[in-house]
Amino acid sequence: MSLGNNEGGGEVVEEYSIDEYTLVRIVRRFDGSLEYRVIQPVLDERERVVVEDVRRWFLEELSVSDMGSTEKLSLMIDLAVR
């Protein structure tokens, strides 16, 4: 979508990708306020199973002490399933 087009109740003023899967659009609403919209792909049932399998593997194979903190473990899981 090109910038300036109407996008579900506003005008897209900026659009960028965070990673290969996640798109962010900054939209100026009709009242002048800005709204940030994060667009991520919807997983089908087969893809969801794969994501859950990867998460389960991480939790079984890597303990929190291996990662140093629960935050690092969570980040590793999120990065692995993208």
Tell me how far apart the alpha carbons of residues 77 and 34 are, in angstroms, rounded to a whole number. Answer: 31
Is residue 1 pLDDT above 50, yes or no? no
Tens digit of each residue's pLDDT (9 = 90 or more) over 44-56: 888 888 878 887 8
| Mean pLDDT for the stretch of residues 6-13 | 77
Domain residue limits, the chain: 10-39, 45-80
Please name the residues in contact with 32: beta carbons below 8 A apart, sequence gap of 6 or more: none
Q: What is the pLDDT of residue 70?
A: 62
d(CA 26, CA 36): 5
Q: Strand locations in 1-82, DSSP E?
A: 10-17, 23-29, 34-39
As a whole number of angstroms, the distance between CA 82 and CA 65 comes to 24
Half-sphere exposure of 52 (CA within 13 A, CB side): 7
For residue 60, is pLDDT > 80?
A: no
